[in-house]
């Protein structure tokens, strides 16, 4: 084994960090109130604020008002689609440019020593990146947009329980703080459903062709899967909300997968000082490598609770292998 900072790369070219982080403090045992408060007022609130600010900017500057959305004219719909494509380019495109075009850190902290396929018949155009961009924008961007348009139309016609920003600002803030937990809950169970054999064969297989993932792999899915994946808005049918909440709900599953599928464990911010930013996508990378594990997000322990957790160790893999028909440890699966 060759030592690399904070991890190791084996003879097959597979790199892994020293260990996965545990669940977020609210889900760790024994409960540690101090750790929970530190996490709440640092990581969680910072993340919620960051996503909330994006939703606020998009609502006030990049979204037609509800009066315009009541008639579903082509112009406003096209505007929302172009705005969503631009968001994808900012998040997935910029990360891909940095890591896979400019290769600013080469293979450092990359989970495999392979770059995305450029001559592979499994992918459209024989190119993994072009294939991923096609499905991310053509299917993902379109269905994301259609859901937003329909929800804005529903808000405009009073079909959704509406809560104005002035009526109860504390409720709005509390709802923003709770939504990440709802999203993780939704993601885990929709993802498990996507691995049900009929849905997997009809749709989810397309996403899993990406065993060597990259930023554009995150939203590269079949339209059937996009229809399921973007249904996080269903909570808005029963909970009073504002369109900003809806944008918050829709934007996270659209742009966050670029980070979770980056294929790298850390971004090197400064080469000289080796200043790094941990992006922690190894948990989900293991799902793409072994398929039947780590269906959820690393922070909420659904996989631990339901027996699908894999931490990258041989013991964890053998435990999974004893319950499922899996290849021997060390086998890299390139499809099903």
Please report the pLDDT score of residue 3 as a whole number: 35
Instruction: Indicate the number of domains in the chain.
Output: 1
pLDDT band at 127; cut points 50, 70, 90: very high
Range of the domain at 229: 2-115+127-323
On whether residue 190 sits in a domain, the answer given is yes
On whether residue 206 sits in a domain, the answer given is yes
**CA 28 → CA 5, 175, 313, 316, distances in Å?**
27, 23, 20, 19
Please report the pLDDT score of residue 288 as a whole number: 93
On whether residue 170 sits in a domain, the answer given is yes
Contacts of 174 (CB under 8 A, 6+ apart): none
Q: Is the pTM of this model over 0.85?
A: yes
On whether residue 121 sits in a domain, the answer given is no
State how far the Cα of 54 lies from the Cα of 236, in Å rounded to an integer: 19
Q: What would the DSSP string read from start to end of 88-133?
A: HIIIIIHHHIIIIIS-TTTTTTBSSS-PPPSS-TTSGGG-HHHHHH
CB atoms within 10 A of CB 172: 20
pLDDT(52) > 50: yes
Reference 178, options 237, 105, 90, 245; nearest CA is 245
On whether residue 333 sits in a domain, the answer given is no
Q: What is the mean pLDDT of the chain?
A: 89
CB atoms within 10 A of CB 71: 9
- Convert the pLDDT of each residue in 180-204 to its tens digit: 999 999 999 999 999 999 999 999 9
On whether residue 298 sits in a domain, the answer given is yes
pLDDT(330) > 90: no
On whether residue 334 sits in a domain, the answer given is no
State how far the Cα of 271 lies from the Cα of 55, in Å rounded to an integer: 33
Please report the pLDDT score of residue 333 as a whole number: 47
- Convert the pLDDT of each residue in 256-302 to its tens digit: 999 999 999 988 876 555 556 666 688 899 999 888 899 998 778 99
pLDDT(118) > 90: yes
pLDDT band at 325; cut points 50, 70, 90: low
On whether residue 268 sits in a domain, the answer given is yes
């Amino acid at each position: 084994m060759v030592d690399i900072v904070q991890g190791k790369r084996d003879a097959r070219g597979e790199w892994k960090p020293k260990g996965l982080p545990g669940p977020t403090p609210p889900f760790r045992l024994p409960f540690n109130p101090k750790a929970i408060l530190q996490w709440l007022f640092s990581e969680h609130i910072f993340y919620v604020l960051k996503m909330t600010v994006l939703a606020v900017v998009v609502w006030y500057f990049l979204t037609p008002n509800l009066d315009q959305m009541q008639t579903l004219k082509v112009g406003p719909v096209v505007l929302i689609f172009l705005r969503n494509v631009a968001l994808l380019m900012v998040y997935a495109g910029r990360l891909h440019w940095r890591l896979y075009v400019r290769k600013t850190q080469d293979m450092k902290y990359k989970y495999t020593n392979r770059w995305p396929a450029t001559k592979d018949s499994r992918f459209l155009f024989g190119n993994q990146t072009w294939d991923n961009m096609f499905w991310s924008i053509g299917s993902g961007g379109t269905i994301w947009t259609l859901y937003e348009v329909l929800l804005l139309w529903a808000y405009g016609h009073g079909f959704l329980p509406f809560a104005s920003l002035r009526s109860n600002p504390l409720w709005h803030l509390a709802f923003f703080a709770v939504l990440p937990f709802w999203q993780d809950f939704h993601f885990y169970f929709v993802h498990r459903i996507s691995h049900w054999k009929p849905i997997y064969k009809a749709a989810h297989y397309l996403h899993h062709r990406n065993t060597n993932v990259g930023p554009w792999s995150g939203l590269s899915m079949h339209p059937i899967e996009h229809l399921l994946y973007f249904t996080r808005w269903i909570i808005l049918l029963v909970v009073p909300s504002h369109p900003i909440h809806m944008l918050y709900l829709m934007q996270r599953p659209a742009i966050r997968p670029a980070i979770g599928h980056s294929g790298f464990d850390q971004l090197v911010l400064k080469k000289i000082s080796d200043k790094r930013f941990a992006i922690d996508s190894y948990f989900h990378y293991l799902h793409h490598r072994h398929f039947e594990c780590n269906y959820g997000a690393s922070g909420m322990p659904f996989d631990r609770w339901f027996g699908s957790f894999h931490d990258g160790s041989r013991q964890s893999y053998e435990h999974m292998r004893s319950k499922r028909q899996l290849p021997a440890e060390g086998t890299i699966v390139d499809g099903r």
